[in-house]
Homo-oligomer: A and B are copies of this chain.
Amino acid sequence: MTPPAARGTVELEWLEGGITAVPGILASGLHCGIKPGAARDLALVFSSTPATATGVFTTNRVVGAPVKVSRERLRAGVTQAIVASSGCSNVATGEQGLRDAREMTEIVAKQLRIPEERVLVASTGIIGRYLPMEKIRAGLPKLVKALSPQGSRHAAEGIMTTDTHPKEAAIRVELGGRPVTLGAIAKGTGMIHPLMATMFCFVATDLAVERDALRAALRRAVAGSFNRISVDGDRSTSDTVVILANGLAENRPLARGDRRLRVFQHALDALTQRLAVMQVRDGEGATLVIDVRVRGAKTRRDAEVAARGIANSPLFKTAMAGRDPNWGRVVSAVGASGAAVQEERIAIWYGEEQVCQQGRLRDGVSWELVKAELAKPEVTLTVDLGLGTAQDHIWTCDLTTDYVKINTGTS
């Protein structure tokens, strides 16, 4: 499940330091009182120089006020800061919600002495409540003062909701003879789903890159990472992935078609996939990660639909929680998915051990080997539809009683 180490000849070096591993990036996080207790609930990421920026947002037709404001701001393509809060998503809050989101950017901009238009905003948490602006107004100036080149961890904590730990990663890659750094913080857990769902990922890099090329690279990375994971099949109203490229690597700026983009894409893919798998592993109540691979599909779309069908099946996910290699539920989920399927061509493996052949139980299955696979924290399920050559995969997690407890508020 570890992201592919190095494709081709590109060498990646994993770094400590998260998003602040990137030159010119400062971050901070603190508690202002949105969440009960003392948990951090505000986060700030700041680039000392204006950065080329682009973002990808939720596909939910209801989106939060912060998503509306950030989308608008990104049209100009230059960003210098992202202010984020957790505990209240500022969704389904009408005009008041828009005013609150804008005020957050305004306060931060004033303190940072940059134009308000260069500040993005993101909020996560319960839907349908107004932000406690008194607390936020008091907290934001402190948040700006707390900015630090070692602030990544605090910022990662400031965006956590039901996450059990902060998520950050950084990577260095050589590009045209120069070292370039990419760093990120993320949050995930409940409602994580294909097509973006209550998850944030803020990425920064010191690469100099044109906006079109940056946008294409981000879309491609998201398609292979955050859109390839699923926790409960729900989709949030607030998902936000943003990348800031501040150019401090002083490379000759990359434009579309530049061959060096392949190296950058490789690094960005590795970074986002690592964070995506972290999100699944920390899915609400999850005890294991399952890489659901479908191959032999008639079309790529069929492969995706079948993989999502399995990854979102409550019956498959509860079987996994019980470490029960119930391949019948896999067959059923595939059949219900809508993908082209011929029962007598289906083959299924847990890890390397084949359990189903020609749509029925394979003779001589080693249930010991299957059990050993299911004892791993990261399980691979492979389904071959036997109808073509297309393939796809989805990372998912099991469905446990803890998921239900977390979401009924009884945990």
Question: Quick one: given A234-B332, A344-B94, are A401 and B405 in contact (CB under 8 Å)?
Answer: yes
Q: Pick from B127, B234, B332: contact of A62, CB below 8 A.
A: B332
Q: Which residues of B contact A339 (CB under 8 A)?
A: 61
Query: From residue 300 to 317 of chain A, which have CB atoms closer than 8 A to chain B?
Result: 312-315
Question: Is chain A's binding surface mostly helix, strand, loop or mixed?
Answer: loop
Question: Quick one: given A128-B328, A129-B361, A324-B409, are A404 and B318 in contact (CB under 8 Å)?
Answer: yes
Question: Quick one: given A191-B315, A341-B62, are A335 and B404 in contact (CB under 8 Å)?
Answer: no
Q: Which residues of B contact A334 (CB under 8 A)?
A: 61-62
Specify which of A126, A233, A314, A334 lies most central, judged by the most chain B CB atoms within 10 Å of its CB: A314
Contact B359 A92 (CB under 8 A): yes
A380 within 8 Å of B (CB atoms): no
Q: Mark A374-408, 1 if CB is under 8 A from B, else 0.
A: 00000000000000000000000001110111011
Q: Nearest Cβ distance between residue A287 and chain B, in whole angstroms?
A: 11
A238 to chain B: closest residue by CB: B332
Q: Pick from B92, B332, B404, B405: contact of A360, CB below 8 A.
A: B92
A273 within 8 Å of B (CB atoms): no
Task: Give this chain's copy count.
Answer: 2
Q: Which residues of B contact A126 (CB under 8 A)?
A: 326, 328
Contact B92 A409 (CB under 8 A): no
Contact B92 A331 (CB under 8 A): yes
Chain A contacts to B: CB under 8 angstroms: 59-63, 89, 91-94, 96-97, 126-129, 190-191, 197, 232-237, 312-315, 318-319, 321-322, 324, 326-329, 331-336, 339-341, 343-344, 346, 356, 358-361, 399-401, 403-405, 407-410
Apart from the given pairs A61-B334, A91-B328, 7 other A-B contacts in the complex at a CB distance below 8 Å? A61-B336, A63-B335, A92-B327, A126-B326, A128-B360, A233-B233, A237-B335
